A and B are shown apart, each in its own frame.
Chain A
Amino acid sequence: MNVLVVDDDPNKLRQLRAFLSGEFPELVIEERNSFQSGLKYALLEGPDVLLLDMTMPTYDVAGKETGGYERRYAGYDILRRLKRRQKPIPVIIITQFERFGDGDELITLEELKEQLSEEFADNYVGTVFYQAAAAQWRNDLRDAMKSIGCKASREPKT
């Protein structure tokens, strides 16, 4: 099974990679670091599962490329494009934020989950709240991956 992880945070990406390869050894993990590189891979290569950060730069930061403007809802935009192109790839959102936007545009993580379930029923699997120091995200991600048919190497520790 091919999984694409799209995230611009190197620490988070490292932890996700370590967890996924440990828990789901059969997975082939591909990584991208921006909205455009993630979307391009998703549309052209069609991975079996997509793990998406919500906020990302437009382009990969490399060399003189500074990444372009930061897209607050990059994950949402990728889901929208998958839906428009009728690509029913299961998507798990992995975010470090409990809230998005500010003032009148503030949206909580719970509200965002609800919105994603309604708008992208064919793609959206769930959202994992990631905190580097906590253990819960691992359990949540394991459950989400299992719910789409990924086989774990062992049962979770209790």
Chain B
Amino acid sequence: MAQPSLARVRSIEHGGLRAATRPFTAPIFAGMDLDDSSIRLLKYQRIRYIRYVIEKSPVRRTSLIGQPFPKTLKQLALKHTTPCTEDIETELKWQAVSFLAFARQLDEWLSCKEEFEHAFLIGESSRATDALASARKKCGLSLWDIESQFLLASQVGGLEENRRVLHEIGSSAPNWIKLFLPFLGLRAEPDFSVAEYHAQLDPLLTPENDAPDDLKAIFDDARFRLNPSRGSTATLERVLNVEESHALIDRFIAWVRAVECLYVRSFNAIEGNAPTYVRVLNNEMHSHRLEFLAGIQDVGHGIADAYMCRIFDVLDAYTKGDYSEAARESLTLLAERPTVLEPYELAAKSALFLHSSPVSPFSPSSVASEILTSMTDVLSRNERVSTSLEKLQVLSYQLDSFGIGPQLRAFHDTHARDSAVLRLSAETGVFSTIPTPRTYLALCGSENAIPHLESLSELQPDNSAVRLFLSSQESIRDGTVSELPVTIPSSRAMRHQAYVLESLGKHEEALDTYKQLHRSSLCATELSDVTAGQYRCYTALSDRTRAARLIVESALQSPQIVSRDTLESLLSQYPDGGDSVVSRDIAWPILFAIAQLHEHRARDTRELHDVLEDFLSAWEVQRPSQLLSAESEFRHEELVYLLREVCVPPILVESIWFDSQDELMQERLRLCTWLSSADSPRRTEYQDEIADLSRAAAIMELTHKAERSRIYVDTEGIARNLPKTTVDRAHRCLALGKLREEKLRKTLEVTGLLFDGLDDNKVFLIDEGYRLFCSVFADIKTSFVSSNQYGLDANLSQRIRHGTLAGALRATFEDLHLVTHKGANGRYIRNDEWLGRLTRDDEVLAPRLHESIADFSQEIDNIISEVRNEWIQVRVDGRPQFALFDFEFDELELHSVYEQCIVCEEPAQLTEQVFVALWERTEDALAKVRTAIQDELKERLFAAIDTCERSVDAIVGHDASGPIRTAFTSCRTQLTLALSAIAEWFRLDEQQRIPNCDVRSVVEAVLGVVQRFSGPTELRYNLSVVNDISVPGKAFRPMWDILFILLDNAAKHSRIDITNVNIDVEMDGESVVVRVENPLCEQIDLDQLSTTVDKLNSLTADEDDLASSRTEGGSGYSKLHKIIRYEMGIDKYGVAVSASSDSYVANITMDVPWSRE
């Protein structure tokens, strides 16, 4: 934060000045401005004298008390203040004089404020608006006014109105006010988050250690105003000094809050005259807060008011157990003054004892009703406790300038953390509205409260609450448990008795009483208190085991019964690293889980696993399912809870006893199976989880199968469709082979032209059988390699070259943003990620870096293209030169195959024998491909990475290139693993070993792969499967390929950053209908798209169309026909596409034979 230029907080040395003479008298009465030292001396004078100087002398008031009632926003600027005395008492006094000087105006404002708060809380916005306008008219502008405007705007018009106020005030406010505006606006928002508020506020208000003192004071003040937990650290005298710059009403609010802070810090030992100044002000003004603060120092003063007396009557009725009367009267009091918190709490508690809920006298949507409902939830310890506590905390921030705001905060803190402690916090006492017995206990502690309680007793001699509290404290003081002087419900009497015993250190006796109580019928709030009491006693007795038992049994009954502090305190006693005796109690992992699930402590799967591991080790088992054989050793609900909530995959993944995700899933399946019968009310949940786990396991299995083996040739299809001439030749070849004499197999072959005349040089004896075999072999090989329907090359094109290979190779680079793709102009688009991070778009460096990274993209794509177009090809007649699928056989090799074939009985056997030779050759080729990918390809890609890394380093410098070098390092490791995975594609398809699976699993498995390889677009999807059916293993691979082509097209051709795909699969009669719809980018050329759609719809399974199934780079739709017609053998099917200006739809209908199986 920049140092405001006008801000000055001047300090003076302390001491020796009180007794000084008054050298400033003369200038004052001459009407001159006082210098710093004179003001400093004046501040130390008695209150009456200062008041006289300010009110009666001709001295210019503004130089002493600033601008009390600013009329414009500009007047709210941070201004010079008087020198700070560094003495809180003097600063309190100095400001008190200003309040006295304007007591009438402040009184009027306090009346408007009360009216505003009342109207706001019950939701009467127009009345609140009027009250605010009236306050502004009387006292001008202020931070209070601005904060109130934000609240009203949010109540009336939500976030939109809130932002309007922000901009309206922000347009003319001085910078000092602009510092506050976003925070005041933020905390008034309807969906305000306290965590987010502090995330923004806390870093901003932390000055540097070496910041000047006056700047630190300004930070102190801003923190004091914006952070409701202001009391703990603020340097109050400096805050008050900076406050002189503000409107008088803001100073007054800060003054009261400062006194409250002093009381919180040490009520019993409060120094000096602060209480006196409170009394002096209270005598001249009508402020409820001053009245209370004066009253707690001077018992009786605070309950002179009739309203307060009626609250004491409610306390009396409540203590006696007349809950109907207490409930009725507290709601009446609430209706009269919704600005006081005590009636809310009394109404909620009384209703709980009546087993009902209080009915708010206000509109259900009003803030007051929200407070009442939330407090009831918290006190009843129902399942809404956390939400309601959060709501109360939010309200306490929003209503911080209201009287009720800090009271709500104290209530929240008590019930969020502190219900396990015997003594309430001092805040609970200070922020009360009336001095009840509980107020004094909170403020003074047990012993010091007695004089105050005695004074209360004199004023309220028949009040049961006062007598009960006094009696308890006297018992504690005297060390005896005396008989109670009032007739109250037995459970309340026993609670007080247990409380006294506990306070006296008689924990075993206190425990007996608490246990008796535990067995009786208690309402939730009593049960929570009693549980906390028992826990404290066990802890005092160092009985960790019984404490853990108590808390786990209570928490499993109702987790909200156990307060956060109790649980935290217990968990802190867990031995680090476990202990064979302690860890054997199932309570510990359950309690750690409860603490995390109910957000009492941060989610930490490692911590939870550690405790679970200790427990399992103590039982000498490795996996949770092994506990099932010792089921009877545990309480049923505890074992169920442990297995349900703790033994879940995110925790078990930390265990060394599972070597894979599959083992982990199998373990969870075992647990869910047991749970579904052991915990029948949740059976459906477990069955859903079992279904999810089974599908996840199936997807993993299917993905593995599809990823691992892609090479396939339909030899059955080839054999079935061999031309008749080939079969005839095979027949003759075998017939010749059966001739006993080898020479008889030979025939004459004449070369040259017959009319040249025959001579021996033109006539040869050749092996006719071998010649026929060569012809048969060539026919089968051609089909094996090149058949558009059944052959290897079509398969390589479909499963590897078509997009998949490039996608998989590029994925590693794309994940790390190391490559971009080409734009419409054919050039690589700008790499915003790395240009921004490494050069901050510097004009000189950015273009050079772009060029380097574009070169890298080009190099990677060139390598990929070479692999696809040169390596993963079938070599025929020596071309392509670097093709790795080599099916050329020399004479020797052919003869060898011939020798094996010639002994066959039937042409079918001969064909099979040829396939064996071709498969062997295929296996050799696959091994070469795998090696090439893992060696040569890796080497070339790594070399490209090295080159780019050096280039980037040279451009941006070694220090700046750190992040991208980290990315390159990751890239090398990930690429090594990716290449190993890609190498596995080059294995023969094992489709016969694939089990049946449902269509949804296949779709989800394919989606997982497409998402990985779909860069640069991000694929998202909605999947609907109606009447799911089982896909037989033999049909899995074709289904996979169909879905892959459809989804890969959707991702690649949508040309948008995020592609949302709708996938509908439906079994309709005997047909499977697959519909994939994806959006299109706005710039799509519709005419061209229309032409493409017509072309795709005209494709068939004819030979001409299938020929294009062996080429890459298109839509892959011709491959769909090949897959459906020839791989799946389906005659009745349809492939149709349609497109509009914003979407593209592909529809496939197949009449599948296995739907009838």
Contacts and interface: CB of A to CB of B under 8 A. Distances in A.
B659 A77 contact: no
B969 interface: yes
A40 B962 contact: no
Contacts of A12: 973
B212 interface: no
A66 B656 contact: no
Most buried by A among B946, B965, B973: B973
A99 B704 contact: no
Interface string A121-155: 00000000000110000000000000000000000
B977 interface: yes
B701 A36 contact: no
Interface residues of A, number: 36
Nearest to B965: A98
B976 interface: yes
B57 to A, nearest CB: 58
Given A37-B659, A39-B656, A86-B577, A63 B704 contact: yes
A84 interface: yes
Nearest to A64: B704
A97 B662 contact: no
B153 to A, nearest CB: 33
Contact of A84 (B610, B661, B703, B963): B610
Interface of chain B, main secondary structure? helix
A58 B700 contact: no
Contacts of B610: 84
A11 B966 contact: no
Contacts of A63: 704
Interface residues of B, number: 29
Given A77-B606, A97-B969, A99-B963, A59 B577 contact: no
B362 interface: no
A156 interface: no
B468 to A, nearest CB: 50
Interface-centre pick from A12, A36, A39 (highest chain B CB count, 10 A): A36
Contact of A98 (B661, B703, B966): B966
Contacts of B966: 97-99
Interface in B659-686: 659-662
Interface in B385-402: none
A139 B704 CA distance: 41
A43 B701 CA distance: 30
B624 to A, nearest CB: 17
A118 interface: no
Given A59-B661, A97-B966, A64 B973 contact: no
B965 A65 contact: no
Q: Which of A12, A59, A97 has the most CB of B within 10 A?
A: A59
Contact of A65 (B576, B660, B963): B660
A86 B660 CA distance: 26
A85 interface: yes
Contacts of B656: 36, 39-40, 43-44
Contacts of A68: 653, 661
Given A96-B973, A99-B963, A85 B577 contact: yes
Contacts of A55: 970
A86 B614 CA distance: 13
B977 A8 contact: yes
B658 interface: yes
Contacts of B662: 64-65
A11 B661 contact: no
Interface in A66-83: 66-69, 77, 80
B719 to A, nearest CB: 32
Given A37-B659, A40-B656, A10 B976 contact: yes
A77 to B, nearest CB: 7
Contacts of A44: 656
A8 B973 contact: yes
A61 B653 contact: no
A9 B976 contact: yes
Given A8-B977, A10-B976, A96-B973, A58 B659 contact: no
Interface string A1-43: 0000000111110000000000000000000000011011001
B969 A60 contact: no
B698 to A, nearest CB: 11
Contacts of B703: 64
B700 A64 contact: yes
A99 B962 contact: yes
A132 to B, nearest CB: 8
Nearest to A85: B577
A36 B659 contact: yes
A3 B386 CA distance: 51
A54 to B, nearest CB: 11
A36 B969 CA distance: 23
Contacts of B976: 9-11
Contacts of A58: 653
A10 B934 CA distance: 11
Given A63-B704, A64-B700, A99-B963, A9 B659 contact: no
Contacts of B576: 84
- Among B576, B660, B704, B977, the most chain A Cβ lie within 10 Å of the Cβ of B660
B977 A61 contact: yes
Interface string B957-998: 000001101100110110011001000000000000000000
A67 B660 CA distance: 7
Nearest to A34: B659
A99 B969 CA distance: 11
Interface string B601-632: 00000100010000000000000000000000
B701 A64 contact: yes
A65 B606 contact: no
B652 to A, nearest CB: 11
Contacts of B973: 8-9, 12, 96
B585 to A, nearest CB: 19
A134 to B, nearest CB: 12
Interface centre among A8, A64, A66 (most CB of B within 10 A): A64
Contacts of A85: 577
A9 B704 CA distance: 21
Contacts of A66: 661, 700
Contacts of B705: 64
A4 to B, nearest CB: 14
B704 A84 contact: no
Interface in B288-330: none
B843 to A, nearest CB: 26
A64 B659 CA distance: 12
A67 B962 CA distance: 27
B441 to A, nearest CB: 43
B951 to A, nearest CB: 16
A64 B990 CA distance: 14
Contacts of B963: 99, 102
Contacts of A99: 962-963, 966
A69 to B, nearest CB: 8
Contact of A96 (B704, B969, B977): B969
B833 to A, nearest CB: 12
Nearest to A132: B972
Contact of B658 (A11, A36, A69, A133): A36
A37 B657 CA distance: 9
Q: Which 4 residue pairs spanning A and B have beta carbons closest together?
A: A64-B704, A40-B656, A65-B660, A96-B969
Interface of B: 576-577, 606, 610, 653, 656-662, 700-701, 703-705, 946, 962-963, 965-966, 969-970, 972-973, 976-977, 980
8 contacts: A10-B980, A11-B972, A64-B705, A66-B700, A97-B966, A97-B970, A98-B966, A99-B966
Interface of A: 8-12, 36-37, 39-40, 43-44, 55, 58-69, 77, 80, 84-86, 96-99, 102, 132-133
Given A40-B659, A66-B700, A99-B966, 17 more contacts: A9-B976, A12-B973, A36-B658, A40-B657, A60-B660, A62-B660, A63-B704, A64-B662, A64-B703, A64-B704, A66-B661, A68-B661, A69-B653, A80-B606, A84-B576, A85-B577, A99-B963
